Amino acid sequence: MQPGSTIEQIVSRNEGYRRGAGKEQLSIDLLQEFLRDKLGRCGGVIDGQEDNYRHGDLRFPCGATIECKGQPIDPFRYKQNFVELFESTQNDRHLGGLQRFADLLHLELSEIIHAKVRFRGSIAQVGELKRVSVSITSMESAAFTAYVNYMNGGQHIYIYERDEILSNIRSGLKNGLVRGAGNSNDDTYAVFIPLPRMRWARNRERWAASGSESEIASISRLADSLK
């Protein structure tokens, strides 16, 4: 659920996955188009499922990667960004996932277990979840995480540096998590975080910087890391 919403839309896991089908490819294509225009290079798509899960969606010759998320971001409507953190599953492959999530953020497991989570109007603790698929695995290894609003040919792009998004997630955990919000299934846990300083909005056929950092500084930051 995006900030300002009053109704949580709970969907089944299969329905959530169905809704996500196709949007990620549209988002990746749009991000590549943007990077090609701004940097003159767009990275190659990471196809392997395990490689994608661990490192993200685009890889550059220097080895740096970008994770790409398709999401209806809009800084004029939503003053924070919605980030899916992990999903409770029945798959034994994900045994001990909550500990891996804590390790990724350099937090104690107890801090995650006792974190507050809002679900269907009530507040509880995360608890000792046995099997957890860590959704932000690639964010820890990727140099950048991009959120792309791909609607109508592209509207907004957010780009977080690795340390920026991980720091924001740690801070967001202190304010509590939400479960089953937005178009995610009811086993998904998420937080709201600040918008990144690197942002762009489509202005007719051009992407114009819309964040707190100048476009020159943002493009230089990207270019230095994505050689």
Per-domain residue ranges for the chain?
13-225
pLDDT, one tens digit per residue, over 103-114 is: 999 999 999 999
pLDDT, one tens digit per residue, over 117-145 is: 999 889 999 999 999 999 999 999 999 99
Query: What is the pTM assigned to this prediction?
Result: 0.87
pLDDT exceeds 70 at position 53: yes
β-strand partners of 206: 203
Which of these, 218, 167, 169, 166, lies nearest to 197 by C-alpha position?
A: 218
**Is residue 51 helix, strand or coil?**
helix
Measured CA to CA, the distance from residue 53 to residue 126 in angstroms comes to 23
β-strand partners of 203: 206
Question: Phi and psi for 8 in degrees, rounded to 5?
Answer: -90, 125
Measured CA to CA, the distance from residue 74 to residue 206 in angstroms comes to 17
